[in-house]
Amino acid sequence: MRLGIAGAALLVASCIPAGAPTDRPGARSAVLLVAEAVHVADVTCADVAHAMASTDRGKALAVADACAHGYAVARSSLLAAEAAVDAYDAGGAGRWGCALRDSLVGLRETSAALELAGAKVPAAVSDGLSLASTLSGLACAPQSDAGGG
């Protein structure tokens, strides 16, 4: 399952030429793949916190809280990204990439909490981070060039 996610993420990323805009199916696949990565990160973190609870309850709670916060941030951003993909032809094409970028904040937070807890970050999570970073860089264009000086 996790290898499948990683493989699919790599496949999606490798099929997108640098600088190319992403179409709606590609955008939807990317949002769902990053959601899978967030899910894997959340479940892994819950397992780590659960195992840690018997030796250090305070630290376990801190880890679980950090992961839960990251999850909430990523989840709400991915729901927004999905809504933008649903409305792709009605302006969503210009919004989903920025919402995907916002989900990176949450996924990074969860990933960092795992590393701080001494756990190995699953490959599916690293791949999700990489994919979201690459695609949001392509699909969330900076506004700075719109003003013209």
Partner 1 sequence: MELALQLIAIAAKLWPTIGDIIRGSSHPDARRVADILPDPGASATVAAELRRGTP
C-alpha–C-alpha distance, residues 97 and 64, integer Å = 28
Per CB under 8 A, does 127 bind partner 1? no
Would you give the binding string for partner 1 spanning residues 94-113, x where CB under 8 A is met? ----------------x---
25 binds partner 1 (CB under 8 A): yes
Closest residue by Cα to residue 141 from 22, 16, 13, 10: 22
Applying CB under 8 A, which of residues 79, 98, 112, 140 lies at the interface with partner 1? 79
Q: What share of the chain is helix, strand, coil (3-state, %, to 5)?
A: 80, 0, 20
The rounded distance, in Å, linking the Cα atoms of 12 and 8 is 6
Q: Could you tell me if 125 and 107 are in contact, meaning their C-beta atoms sit under 8 angstroms apart?
A: yes
Question: 2 or 28: whose CB is closer to partner 1?
Answer: 28
Binders of partner 1 among residues 33 to 62 (CB under 8 A) are: 35-36, 38-39, 42-43, 45-47, 49-50, 53-54, 57, 60-61
The rounded distance, in Å, linking the Cα atoms of 126 and 9 is 10
| Residues near partner 1 (CB under 8 A) | 25, 28, 31-32, 35-36, 38-39, 42-43, 45-47, 49-50, 53-54, 57, 60-61, 64-65, 67-68, 71-72, 74-75, 78-79, 81-82, 110
